[in-house]
Amino acid sequence: MLNLVFSTLFTLFIFNSIGCSSADLKNVNIDEKTAEGTYNLAEYYAKNKRYEDSLARLRTIKNKFPYSKYATESELKIADIEFKREYWPEAETAYKLFKEFHPKHPRSDYVTYQMALSQYNQLPSTIDRDLTDAYNTIRYFDDVLQNYPKSEWVTKSKEYKNKTIKMLAEKEQYIASFYFIREHYLSALGRYEGILKRFKGIGMEKGALYGAAVSAYKIKDMSKAKNYLDTLGTKFPQSPEYEKAKGKLSE
C-alpha cells in the first residue's frame, strides 16, 4: 500500500515538474525504473527544450540499460539534442561516435549528414579566416553522396558541399587578389591557375582568367598570357573582364 501511495505521488510530482497535464502523457510509460519509461520522459523533456533534464535521462539509460534498444536510441538522441542546442563540436563528436559504434544502423545516412552539417556550422563566417576544416566538411558530405545515393539527404548534401567549395574558391580569390594588388604577379598567377583547375563551374572563371592573363603578362610569360586571354575571349567575349584584359595586355 505504501509503495502504491509513493508511486502515485511520484507520478504527480513528475506531471507538475514538467508542467504537463495527464492528457499530455496519456497511456505513456514514464516509469524511470525501465528503459522505455526513462526514454519517454527524456523525449518529453527534449520537446519542451529542457535539454539538461533530457540528457540526464538519456545518459542514465546508457549506464543502467546498456543492452536495451533504448540505449542505442539514446546515443542518437544525445547527438540530436547537442545539434538543437547548436553545440556544434559536441554534436559532431556524438554523431561520429554513433556512426563508429553502429555502422549498420538504418539511419546511418542521417547520422552522416548531421555529422557533416555540424562540421559545416563550425566554419568561419568570413573567408579571411582559416578554412582548413572545410576539406573535412566536403569529405563528410561526399560520404553521404557516395555511400547513400538514394538517401533523402543527398540533395541537401550537394547543396552544402557546393557552398563549402565556393567558400574555398572565394578564399583562393581573396589571396590571389591580395598578391595581384601588391604586384606579386608570380604568386598571383599560381593562385589564379589553382582556381581554374580546382573550382570549375561555380562562377569564378571570368575573374580568374583575367587575373591569370594579366599576371602572366606582367611576369613576361607571353605564351600563358595569350592563352588565358584567348580562353577568356572565347568563353566570355562580351564580358568587362575580357575588354579590360585586352587593354592591359596592349599596354
Per-residue pLDDT of 97-109, as tens digits, reads 999 999 999 999 9
Residues 81 and 122 in one domain: no
Percent of the chain with pLDDT over 70: 88
pLDDT at residue 20, as a whole number: 47
pLDDT over 60 (residue 7):
no
User: What sign does the dihedral 12-14-18-24 (CA atoms) show?
Assistant: negative
Determine, yes or no, domain membership for 149: yes
Determine, yes or no, domain membership for 222: yes
Determine, yes or no, domain membership for 243: yes
Residues 78 and 92 in one domain: no
pLDDT at residue 26, as a whole number: 61
pLDDT at residue 25, as a whole number: 60
Q: Measured between alpha carbons, how far apart are the two ends of the chain, in Å? A: 101
Percent of the chain with pLDDT over 90: 80
Residues 207 and 234 in one domain: yes
Cα–Cα distances (Å) from 221 to 162, 174, 231, 247, in that order, read 33, 23, 16, 17
Return the axis-axis angle of helices 205-218 and 240-249, rounded to nearest 10°.
0
Residues 117 and 162 in one domain: yes
Residues 93 and 162 in one domain: yes
Determine, yes or no, domain membership for 200: yes
Q: What's the average model confidence in pLDDT over 36-54?
A: 93
**Phi, psi of 201, rounded to the nearest 5 degrees:** 75, 20
pLDDT at residue 27, as a whole number: 63
Determine, yes or no, domain membership for 14: no
Residues 163 and 221 in one domain: no
The CATH number of the domain where 153 resides is what?
1.25.40.10
Q: What's the average model confidence in pLDDT over 188-201?
A: 95
Residues 62 and 101 in one domain: no
Residues 94 and 137 in one domain: yes
For residues 81 and 90, what is the distance between their CA atoms, to the nearest angstrom? 10
Cβ contact 236:242 at 8 Å: yes
More confident residue, 117 or 31: 117
* Domain-ending residue, one of 85, 104, 120: 85
For 137-188, what is each residue's pLDDT tens digit? Answer: 999 999 999 999 999 999 999 999 999 999 999 999 999 999 999 999 999 9
pLDDT over 80 (residue 24):
no
Determine, yes or no, domain membership for 249: yes
- Its pTM stands at 0.80
Question: Which structural domain range is residue 45 located in?
Answer: 28-85
The angle subtended at Cα 78 by Cα 21 and Cα 64, nearest 5°, is 80
Residues 145 and 127 in one domain: yes
Average pLDDT of the chain, as a whole number: 89
Residues 120 and 187 in one domain: no
Our count of domains for the chain comes to 3
Determine, yes or no, domain membership for 44: yes
pLDDT at residue 201, as a whole number: 87
**Residues 6 or more apart from 81 whose CB is under 8 A from it?**
46, 51, 54, 55, 58
Q: How confident is the model at residue 245 (pLDDT cuts 50, 70, 90)?
A: very high
Q: What's the average model confidence in pLDDT over 68-93?
A: 96
CA atoms within a 13 Å half-sphere pointing along the CA-CB vector of 35 = 14
pLDDT at residue 130, as a whole number: 87
